[in-house]
Amino acid sequence: MADIERISRMEDILDQTSEAFGALLAALEKYEASLDGYKELCRYYAGDWLSDYEDDEKGRLPKDLKRGVLSQDAVFDLMAEYRSIKEELSRLSEI
């Protein structure tokens, strides 16, 4: 007779792993879809960002304009997060 506890445990592992893998695949699809925008943001940060930042500092932009992209840390922090994600994906692919 099969060990009911073992079967139940393996069933739980199957359910949890299937859910986690599905969520990860969905997140990876969303991540991949965002990469073109991320590259565009990096080009902006290396190019026109400084001019826009200076315009903001001089009060040339509307006060109600959302301007998180003009903060000195937001894009840099996102770039650091991107590097961390790439490192983690690389590490996990070796398992």
Q: Is the pTM of this model over 0.85?
A: no
| Residues 59-87: tens digit of each pLDDT | 999 999 999 999 989 999 999 999 999 99
Q: Name residues whose C-beta falls within 8 Å of residue 53's C-beta, 6 or more positions apart in sequence.
A: 70, 72
Residue 75 token pair: 């894009």
pLDDT of residue 1: 57
Residue 50 amino acid letter = L
| Residues 43-62: tens digit of each pLDDT | 999 999 999 999 999 999 99
Average pLDDT over residues 27-36: 97
* Rounded Cα distance, 45 and 77, in Å: 12
Q: What is the per-residue burial (b if ≥16 Cβ within 10 Å, else e) of 13-49?
A: eeeeeeeeeeeeeeeeeeeeeeeeeeeebeeebeeeb
